[in-house]
């Protein structure tokens, strides 16, 4: 193939988290032969929410080569060890979805089946007692994960909470040092090839014309190229996930800095609490079918730990996915490719997963349809897995105190999820697909937490000596407690390791 067939100009439309994550990663992952340009409009602005992540974000930051302490100071970040769910399965009950794995140095499958056997024999053990993340979260502590599989701290795991606006700005500065060009301006017209329909250029309000070979649509919910121009279509999932709005407002932190997200179920949705260094992010994600905007805002503000620091912002969204994330020479990444509510902090992860797959399927100017189709199928699977995992949180509730909860408890669910629930119910079998972003720990935490209890356990552990297993569990629980006791407090850890922004500013 001649050099003439290589892509040369990559144009990214949009400078939110998706745009700058994509720009930084492509600049790092591709060589300098490619010209990468981001077009963004300060007038339109960014969605400005999206503060909780899941552990693979660390791979993304490592791939870019970011310094963790600098990243944390620049984005006012804190650590996240999992999510505390309150009132989800039933009112008054709570459970913790931890990162890392349950058990110490144990294969989760094995560990869980032993746990199940003891549980069936009346052991009544709390699974959270065997998770370093769950216990550290409860104690408000944090410590470094170990790479040594013999060290119990290898079963630890973590992600971050960060200020999403600051994260975008930080990545923008970083990408610019790698040679990414930035153009300020609003795209008002999109030129297409008259025969192929491929996008050839963007026309800005200023009159400037930006030409490219590959266009990445990071324009947010509007999907400027993928939908408004190419009409890729949208598959609506709001029957399964009826939340379609959020009211968000920050407030000041009261009390210690907790290393986890909290999700509290409410009458018509749920409320997030995300502690950062300089403030707490809060939002009520709700379904407009079950509550008015005014009532949702009132619920949010009545449930803040301190006065709101800004007027609550209302956000509207439509749950689902673009029928084609990649069409012609346009790849949609971020909110332009689809959106599911932020219950398990998966949107930023989907951006990362899309970038990884784009690098794996990076096109030349022939834009092979087969290559594009495989990319689309892979992202579709990622999105459907997230959808099923989110739906589980609603479907497995026993709440019947409000119309929303009665609806979701009774709604039909995809076969793919029904099969997972049934296999788990039979004898605790966890079905995890290759390439899946959720770990067995995640499925287990939510299935059990929401009250799905296996009727039996694996025959492989049936003949094992229960007394010896119980002894092992006692030792493990004590070891987890001792290890957590030795950890520093969350804020102390950040300060000790040069990650606390306010102290860096004073130094
Ligand atoms: C309520 C809510 C809570 C969320 N919480 C989380 C969370 O906890 N964790 C998580 O992972 N994700 C979360 N998300 C999702 C997360 O916010 C997004 O995935 C992420 O911010 C990426 O957004 P984006 O860059 O795709 O879009 P945006 O931030 O909307 O950026 C779009 C960009 O396109 C530009 N643009 C648009 N039109 C034009 C034009 N005509 N010309 C030029 N530029 C244009 C805009 O100026 C902007 O720069 C949440 C989303 C919502 C709605």
Instruction: Tell me what pLDDT residue 2 has.
Output: 55
What is the average pLDDT score of the chain? 95
267-293 b/e with 16+ CB inside 10 Å = b? bbbbbbbbbbbebbbbbbbbbeebbee
- 476 CA → ligand 1 middle, Å: 43
- 47 CA → ligand 1 middle, Å: 4
Pocket test for ligand 1, best of 20, 347, 348 (most atoms within 8 A of CB): 347
Residue with tokens 């709005």: 245
Which ligand 1 atom lies nearest to the CA of residue 21? Answer: 25
Instruction: Tell me what pLDDT residue 124 has.
Output: 78
Residue 507 has pLDDT above 70, yes or no: no
**How does DSSP classify residue 146?**
P
Is the CB of residue 427 less than 8 Å from the CB of residue 456? yes
- 218 CA → ligand 1 middle, Å: 8
Provide the residue ranges of all domains of the chain, joining segments of one domain with +.
Answer: 3-51+163-238+319-384, 97-160+385-490, 245-316
Query: What residues line ligand 1, using a CB cutoff of 6 Å?
Result: 13-19, 39-41, 44-47, 49-53, 164, 186-187, 218-220, 222, 224, 246, 248, 283, 315, 317, 334-336, 342, 345, 347-348
- Confirm whether 80 is a catalytic residue: yes
Residue 433 banded pLDDT, cuts 50, 70, 90: confident
In this predicted model, what pLDDT tens digit does every residue of 458-467 receive, in sequence order? 999 999 999 9
- 223 CA → ligand 1 middle, Å: 11
Please state the length of the chain: 507
Instruction: Tell me what pLDDT residue 106 has.
Output: 55
Phi, psi of 422 (to 5 degrees): -65, -45
Is the CB of residue 293 less than 8 Å from the CB of residue 308? no
Which ligand 1 atom lies nearest to the CA of residue 285? Answer: 1
Going by C-alpha positions, the residue among 221, 195, 208, 234 that lies closest to residue 11 is: 208
Q: CB burial class (10 A; 0-12, 13-18, 19+) of residue 157? A: buried
**Superfamily classification of domain 3-51+163-238+319-384:** FAD/NAD(P)-binding domain (3.50.50.60)
In this predicted model, what pLDDT tens digit does every residue of 253-304 receive, in sequence order? 999 999 999 999 999 999 999 999 999 999 999 999 999 999 999 999 999 9
- Whole-angstrom Cα distance, residue 148 to residue 467? 30
Which ligand 1 atom lies nearest to the CA of residue 335? Answer: 26
Residue 107 banded pLDDT, cuts 50, 70, 90: low
* Coil/strand/helix, residue 348: helix
- 220 CA → ligand 1 middle, Å: 5
């Amino acid at each position: 193939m001649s050099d003439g067939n290589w892509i040369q100009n990559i144009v990214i439309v949009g400078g939110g988290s998706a745009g700058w994550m994509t720009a930084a990663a492509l600049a790092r992952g591709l060589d300098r032969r490619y010209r990468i340009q981001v077009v963004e409009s300060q007038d339109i602005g960014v969605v400005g929410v999206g503060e909780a992540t899941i552990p693979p974000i660390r791979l993304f930051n490592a791939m870019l080569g970011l310094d963790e302490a600098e990243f944390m100071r620049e984005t006012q970040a804190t650590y996240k060890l999992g999510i505390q769910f309150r009132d989800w399965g039933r009112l008054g009950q709570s459970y913790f979805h931890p990162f890392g794995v349950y058990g110490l140095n144990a294969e989760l499958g094995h560990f869980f089946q032993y746990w199940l056997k003891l549980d069936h024999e009346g052991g009544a053990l709390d699974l959270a007692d065997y998770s370093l993340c769950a216990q550290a979260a409860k104690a408000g502590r944090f410590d470094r994960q170990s790479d040594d599989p013999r060290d119990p701290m290898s079963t630890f795991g973590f992600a971050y909470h960060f200020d999403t606006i600051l994260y975008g700005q930080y990545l923008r500065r970083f990408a610019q040092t790698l040679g990414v060009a930035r153009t300020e301006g609003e795209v008002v017209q999109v030129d297409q090839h008259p025969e192929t329909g491929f996008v050839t250029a963007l026309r800005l309000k200023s009159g400037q014309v930006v030409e490219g070979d590959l266009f990445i649509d990071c324009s947010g919910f509007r999907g400027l190229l993928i939908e408004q121009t190419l009409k890729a279509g949208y598959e609506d999932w709001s029957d399964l996930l009826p939340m379609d709005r959020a009211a968000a407002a920050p407030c000041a932190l009261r009390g210690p800095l907790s290393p986890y997200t909290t999700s509290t179920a409410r009458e018509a949705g749920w409320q997030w609490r995300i502690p950062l260094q300089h403030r707490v992010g809060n939002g009520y994600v709700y379904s407009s079918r079950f509550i008015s905007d005014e009532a949702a805002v009132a619920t949010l503000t009545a449930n803040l730990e301190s006065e709101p620091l800004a007027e609550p912002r209302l956000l509207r969204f439509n749950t689902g996915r673009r029928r084609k994330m990649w069409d012609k020479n346009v790849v949609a990444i971020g909110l332009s490719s689809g959106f599911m509510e932020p219950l398990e902090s998966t949107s930023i992860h989907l951006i990362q997963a899309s970038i990884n797959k784009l690098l794996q399927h990076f096109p030349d100017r022939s834009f092979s349809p087969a290559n594009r189709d495989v990319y689309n199928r892979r992202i579709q699977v990622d999105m459907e897995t997230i959808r099923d995992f989110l739906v589980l949180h609603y479907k497995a509730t026993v709440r019947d105190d409000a119309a929303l909860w009665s609806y979701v408890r009774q709604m039909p669910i995809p076969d793919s999820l029904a099969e997972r629930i049934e296999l788990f119910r039979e004898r605790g079998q966890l079905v995890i697909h290759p390439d899946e972003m959720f770990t067995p720990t995640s499925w287990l935490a939510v299935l059990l937490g929401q009250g799905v209890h296996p009727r039996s356990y694996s025959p492989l552990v049936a003949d094992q000596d229960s007394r010896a297993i119980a002894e092992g569990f006692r030792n493990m629980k004590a070891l987890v407690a001792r290890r957590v006791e030795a950890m520093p407090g969350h804020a102390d850890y950040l300060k000790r390791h040069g990650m606390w922004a306010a102290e860096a500013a004073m130094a």
